[in-house]
Every structure is written in C-alpha cells, then in structure tokens.
C-alpha cells in the first residue's frame, strides 16, 4: 500500500504468526526496511510485485533492529537480489553478541548473511533524497528510526506503535531508554505518517501527537 509518493507500507496481518511491517522507499537508491521472516518473503514479494516494485531494484535492506522477525529475510534480499544488509553499528555489536540468541530462541537458523553496511545517526543519502536516521535504543540497544521530512514519514520500528510500544524485557531492552527514544521521536517536526514495526499506521499530525502523548502516559505508569 502506497502511503505517499515513493513510500510503500506493508502491514503484516498473519493470524497467529509473528512478523513485522515492511516499508519500501523507492527512488534513487530503493530501500526495503524490515523485510521480516524468511518463510513469509514469498507473500511479501507478491505484494511488492502487485505494486509494480521489483525486488531486484532494492539496493539496501535496512533493519530497524536485529530481531529475527524484522531482519531474517534480509539474507534472501542479499543472496537473490544483491541488496546490502544494513543496521546501526551499535546494533551490530549487539547482533554479534547476545542478539544472536534470538534466532535459536525462535527456532530459527543463525543468519549467515553479511551486514555490509553500518549506519550511524544522521543524514542518509539515498541518491535522489536525504532521509534522517535516529538512534533509538530501548527495545534493542542500537535501534534505528527513519524520518523523511519532505514526505512527513516516520518509520519507528519497535519503539512506538499505535497506542502501544515495544517490549523492553528482552535482552538489551530498557524502559527508561525507550521512553527517551519516544520523547525524541515526538519532537520531530512535520510527521504525517507514523509507520510502526507492528500494527497499523497512525496517520495525520493530530492523531500522531495524541498517540505519542498516550504512549508516554502509559509508559509513565510503569
């Protein structure tokens, strides 16, 4: 589903299965954010093709964080389509350590793909556009969120959802850090589409502001 020109959002709706939402930014350097689980890639691929997107055009598979339900299919994107897998350098350190434990814990093989690009907070040049990355720990130590001000789009990974927020009880999680991350994201200007890692998008500046306030209020009751 297209949420703005060059921005496609694929919310996951798969019954009992756990998988994340996927976002594709088309243009100069097409990026797929959080491609999800490997075994669900064929259905996601079909949706991309339906929207006229060619997986072979994707240059980067960017992971908001290293949990398998967000990044496992990155290996397919690398091996079959030549996309570069990318996460924050802080997340890579975690991924090389305790983060590996999520794979066997979820009954999955350890990833053998190569994280070819380490990202930092700040501007990210995608050829015809610049987007901005924010290091947002709390759900995972090196979590990344992506802001594209010209389109009013904010990709929040598992930091904030519609009326909810990411778990902080996993290894590497921290509720105080998550709160600070939510607060930082709230301060970003011109957000018209909040695209979270799970659940539905939050559309419209007013609804997004209300959602930030609601979630901060819930966090503060913990």
Where along the sequence are the contacts to Zn ion (CB under 5 A)? 67, 158
**91 or 158, CB closer to Zn ion?**
158
**45 or 67, CB closer to Zn ion?**
67
Smallest distance from the beta carbon of 167 to Zn ion, in angstroms? 7
């913990």: which residue's tokens? 222
Smallest distance from the beta carbon of 133 to Zn ion, in angstroms? 17
SS3 163: coil
**30 or 68, CB closer to Zn ion?**
68
Smallest distance from the beta carbon of 48 to Zn ion, in angstroms? 22
When CB distances to Zn ion are compared, the closest residue is 67
- How far, in Å, CA of 177 to CA of 35, rounded? 25
**41 or 151, CB closer to Zn ion?**
41
Smallest distance from the beta carbon of 202 to Zn ion, in angstroms? 18
Distances (CA, A) of 207 to 194, 202, 204, 214: 10, 7, 5, 10
Enumerate residues 6+ apart whose C-beta is below 8 A from 36.
12, 19, 20, 22, 44, 69, 70, 72, 73
Enumerate residues 6+ apart whose C-beta is below 8 A from 183.
216
């Amino acid at each position: 589903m297209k949420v703005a020109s060059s921005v496609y959002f694929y919310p996951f709706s798969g019954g009992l299965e756990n998988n994340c939402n996927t976002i594709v930014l088309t243009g100069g350097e097409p990026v797929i954010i959080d491609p999800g689980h490997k075994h669900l890639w064929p259905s996601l691929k079909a949706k991309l093709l339906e929207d006229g997107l060619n997986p072979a055009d994707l240059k980067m598979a960017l992971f908001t964080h290293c949990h398998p339900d967000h990044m496992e299919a990155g290996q397919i994107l690398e091996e079959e389509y030549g996309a570069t897998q990318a996460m924050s350098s802080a997340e890579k350190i975690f991924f090389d350590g305790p983060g590996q434990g999520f794979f066997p814990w979820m009954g999955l093989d350890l990833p053998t793909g190569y994280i070819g690009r380490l990202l930092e907070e700040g501007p990210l040049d995608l050829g015809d556009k610049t987007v901005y990355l924010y290091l947002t720990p709390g759900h995972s130590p090196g979590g990344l969120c992506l802001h594209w001000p010209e389109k009013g789009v904010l990709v929040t990974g598992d930091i904030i959802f519609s009326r909810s927020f990411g778990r902080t009880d996993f290894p590497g999680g921290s509720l105080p850090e998550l709160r600070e991350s939510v607060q930082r994201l709230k301060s970003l200007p011109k957000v018209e589409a909040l695209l979270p890692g799970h659940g539905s998008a939050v559309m419209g500046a007013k609804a997004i502001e209300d959602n930030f306030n609601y979630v901060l209020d819930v966090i503060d009751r913990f």
